[in-house]
Amino acid sequence: DQSVCAPLPVLGRDVTVPLVTGGEVTYAALDYAASAPALQRVWDDVAAYAPYYGSVHRGAGYLSQLSTDLFENARRTVAEFLDCRTGDQVVFTRSTTDSLNLLAAALPDGCEVFVFETEHHASLLPWRDARVTYLDAPDSPRRAVETLEHALAGRDPHGPALVCVTGASNVTGELWPVRELAAAAHAHGARIVLDAAQLAPHHPVSVRELDVDWVAFSGHKLYAPFGSGVLAGRSDWLREAEPYLAGGGASRTVTRRADGGVDVEWHDSAARHEAGSPNVIGAYAVASACKALTEAGFDTLIAREEQLIRTVREGLADVPEVRFLSLFGDAPRVGVLSFVVEGWNSSHFAAALSAEYGIGVRDGLFCAHPLVRTLLGSDPQSQGECGAPEAAPGEKSLNAIRVSFGAGTPDEHVERFVRAVR
């Protein structure tokens, strides 16, 4: 198929791991949803820059100026990648979790928050200081929009409100109707933040087209190394908020008052929330990954990933013990699939995939406990996690197995996975 590209070169392609059955095999990294391997191109970019890095916004020396330029250019690259509006801010953070906690700390007084119970904990939990309405798991994208509309209809449209929604589920991989949810939010005077941790590595994200107010994502899921994330979007709430971290870089001037205290004037720009010496290598790596994915072209990346999804679905369709988890049925998804195998403890199953086949998947509740418990139909109080006790024969599983892949996944990894499960 001409439209399907070859896997992009990533780190770790030649890593071999021992098998309990003897010998060794190349590692099949099928846990991209947790952390994707870095693109070779990103790694090379970082290595080429590393000898030149210096302090950002702080030094008069040539390398400090160079690093400051690269850091600010990285911001522009990310803004382009996300198709941001004029005036939007791109704040470099540590991760999606950090980005959403930053936004939570910047909510205006009295802000209400609406969030589906199906969210990853990073989107579910940061709003604890606000008035939060948790929305029930919908059974279709349309029901998601109706549920949100119904919840928003009851609120005072003059007060501030924020909807937080994921673009692609880290459990089922299913795509959420972001544009429609954004329209519903705006129709009721609310704003919306998109958790794009799982969406941005797989699909183009356009702030303008989706009409979302903010987007958050993590570098380590977007084929860059750890330690960097992004919050991008409207500047007003961010500019009016207290700095997320207080310190150098966020403050424009600090003066001692006559009464002995200290007055601070904070920056209005993204620097307001980036106190301390910024992670210039991380920002540079994220920008490099944004460029690499754009150049590879999302159309071909999506075509390839859909082919891999078909390999899994069709390869296991006639194995009755395998049950895939989904909220929306056969809806479009990214390369993230969770399942249970009847008669098996998911943790043992995942351990066997590793020990006997050199395949790395994830087991557990995937930091989305309410969603996974809903999908498994298990008791909300059950303690299913990694290493959960064996479900007795006939009992429901307490946790699940997740296989996930992306731009760097060779066909052989997915084919080996299907063979191993069979």
Q: Toward ligand PMP, which CB reaches closer, 316 or 350?
A: 350
Q: Are 253 and 264 in contact (CB under 8 A)?
A: yes
Which token pair is 131? 């008035």
Say how many residues touch ligand PMP, by CB under 6 A.
Answer: 14
Q: Toward ligand PMP, which CB reaches closer, 190 or 200?
A: 200
Does the protein bind ligand PMP through residue 170 (CB under 6 A)?
Answer: yes
Rounded Cα distance between 368 and 206, Å, is 26
Does the protein bind ligand PMP through residue 166 (CB under 6 A)?
Answer: yes
Does the protein bind ligand PMP through residue 97 (CB under 6 A)?
Answer: yes
Nearest approach, Cβ of residue 344 and ligand PMP (Å): 24
Nearest approach, Cβ of residue 253 and ligand PMP (Å): 33
Rounded Cα distance between 351 and 349, Å, is 5
Nearest approach, Cβ of residue 123 and ligand PMP (Å): 6
Does the protein bind ligand PMP through residue 354 (CB under 6 A)?
Answer: no
Q: Toward ligand PMP, which CB reaches closer, 178 or 391?
A: 178
Residue 247 — left, alpha, or beta (φ > 0 → left; ψ -120 to 50 → alpha)? left
- C-alpha separations of 114 from 157, 160, 177, 182, 199 in Å: 14, 11, 16, 12, 20
Does the protein bind ligand PMP through residue 228 (CB under 6 A)?
Answer: no
Nearest approach, Cβ of residue 164 and ligand PMP (Å): 10
| Span of 82-90, 128-136, 195-203, 410-418 interacting with ligand PMP by CB under 6 A | 195-203
Q: Toward ligand PMP, which CB reaches closer, 126 or 384?
A: 126
Rounded Cα distance between 184 and 195, Å, is 17
Among 67, 68, 77, 95, binds ligand PMP (CB under 6 A): 95
367 is catalytic: yes
Distance of CA 175 to the CA centre of its chain: 13
Residues 46-85, one symbol each (x = binds ligand PMP by CB under 6 A, - = not), give: ----------------------------------------
Nearest approach, Cβ of residue 367 and ligand PMP (Å): 6
Among 67, 89, 96, 404, binds ligand PMP (CB under 6 A): 96
Distance of CA 288 to the CA centre of its chain: 17
Does the protein bind ligand PMP through residue 120 (CB under 6 A)?
Answer: yes
Nearest approach, Cβ of residue 392 and ligand PMP (Å): 30
Nearest approach, Cβ of residue 276 and ligand PMP (Å): 18
Q: Toward ligand PMP, which CB reaches closer, 218 or 345?
A: 218
Please list the residues that pair with 19 across neighbouring strands: none
- C-alpha separations of 74 from 77, 273, 280, 337 in Å: 5, 17, 9, 32
Candidates 5, 84, 290, 367; catalytic one: 367
Does the protein bind ligand PMP through residue 198 (CB under 6 A)?
Answer: yes
Does the protein bind ligand PMP through residue 404 (CB under 6 A)?
Answer: no
| Span of 84-92, 119-127, 149-157, 241-249 interacting with ligand PMP by CB under 6 A | 119-127
Rounded Cα distance between 345 and 396, Å, is 10
Q: Toward ligand PMP, which CB reaches closer, 95 or 397?
A: 95
AA identity, residue 345:
N
Does the protein bind ligand PMP through residue 31 (CB under 6 A)?
Answer: no
Rounded Cα distance between 276 and 290, Å, is 25
Q: Are 253 and 265 in contact (CB under 8 A)?
A: yes
Does the protein bind ligand PMP through residue 346 (CB under 6 A)?
Answer: no
For the chain, the helix, strand and coil percentages under 3-state DSSP, each to the nearest 5: 35, 20, 45
Query: Which residues contact residue 6 at a Cβ distance below 8 angstroms, ignoring those fewer than 6 apart?
Result: none
| Span of 118-126, 256-264, 287-295, 356-364 interacting with ligand PMP by CB under 6 A | 118-126
Nearest approach, Cβ of residue 80 and ligand PMP (Å): 22
Please list the residues that pair with 194 across neighbouring strands: 165, 215
Rounded Cα distance between 215 and 195, Å, is 6
Q: What is the H or E stretch that residue 218 is in?
A: strand 214-218
Q: Are 352 and 387 in contact (CB under 8 A)?
A: no
AA identity, residue 48:
A
Residue in 52, 106, 128 with CA at minimum distance from that of residue 250: 106
Catalytic residue set: 367
Binding residues for ligand PMP (CB under 6 A): 33, 95-97, 120, 122-123, 166, 170, 195, 197-198, 218, 367
